[in-house]
Chain A
Amino acid sequence: MVQYSSPPLDLSFAALSDATRRGIIDQLGRESASITSLADKFQMTLTGMKKHVQVLERAGLVVTQKVGRVRTCKLGKRGLEAEAEWIEAHRKLFEARFDALDEIISEMKQEGSDESAG
């Protein structure tokens, strides 16, 4: 069993800053695939695909396993977490906004100034 330590998050964001790599994550979310079939799917050379997969692997988003002569890729735990993380960050931003809006509304109520804007 390999010791798994979490790579820094900026590595994940860098890994996901590329549309092809996001596509790979998306694809692997549906089913695991070999490097060869990913290269076909994304119309890339094997070398190009290997590089992308390496970047994703370093970020902990993808794990690969070599069985015989075929290297299979599947989503690492971080790949599964990434989307939920982004959505949660977005929610937190809105929560902070709406809490601030709540305060302003309380002030408005105290001023008793509920005239419609003209």
Chain B
Amino acid sequence: MNQQVSSAGGAQNRTSIERRGDRELVVTRAFDAPPSMVYRAWSQAELFQRWWMPRSASGVSLVSCDMDVRTGGKYRLEFSAGGSDTMAFYGKYLEVVPNERIVWTNDEGEEGAVTTVTFEDQGGKTLLRFHEAYPSKEALEEALQGSAAALPEQLEQLDEFLSSIGE
């Protein structure tokens, strides 16, 4: 069963998310720039770390970011939620085709996803697809719960909304 959720409103470049089958999630978004530019913002650490963990994501900040974006290269990101504890995310690049696709592993957990991001040229604009394939349905659900837990404010709003429609 596929579920697709898109942002409300008439935004020009909308982020949409789709669950495919039991183990896969696909996020798509169009950008008003050629693939080479979007790829640069994704593959250069000093640019990547400026957008990957936006301020709105509940006080979590990216404290370090090492990326060797080429086939066989490794990456490591460290996040902090304000305390002294940091959380590390790391893995390796399985396939890198500049301006077209990057495929990497997520090795910090037992059941990490393989993530593929593709940059498709659409007449000078870019259609970006971010695809996560998890080894099991449970692993995907863990990840979804994790991202939900990382966004308490929005969930509170959702919670209020859900209670308002309950009898």
Residues of A within 8 A of B (CB): 1, 3-6, 8-9, 13, 16-17, 19, 22, 77-78, 81, 83-105, 108-109, 114, 116-117
Contact = CB atoms under 8 A, between A and B. Distances in A.
Interface of A is mostly: helix
Interface residues of B, number: 55
B98 A94 contact: no
Given A98-B13, A101-B51, A105-B41, 5 more contacts: A9-B155, A87-B19, A90-B27, A90-B148, A92-B154
A4 B166 CA distance: 7
Contacts of B162: 6, 77-78, 81, 85
B159 A6 contact: yes
Interface string B19-47: 10000010101011110111111111001
Nearest to B7: A95
A1 B167 contact: yes
A96 B151 CA distance: 11
Contacts of A8: 159
B13 A114 contact: no
A42 to B, nearest CB: 14
Interface stretch (B52-60, B71-79, B81-89, B101-109): B52-60
A96 B125 CA distance: 20
Contacts of A92: 151, 154
25 contacts: A6-B163, A16-B145, A81-B162, A84-B3, A86-B141, A87-B3, A88-B5, A88-B158, A89-B150, A89-B155, A90-B25, A91-B15, A94-B15, A94-B130, A95-B7, A98-B31, A101-B38, A102-B31, A102-B32, A104-B51, A105-B32, A105-B41, A108-B40, A109-B37, A117-B39
Nearest to B31: A105
A114 B37 contact: yes
Contact of A94 (B17, B144, B156): B17
A51 B27 CA distance: 37
Nearest to A81: B162
Nearest to B69: A117
Contacts of A108: 33, 37, 40-41, 47
A92 B40 CA distance: 23
Nearest to A78: B162
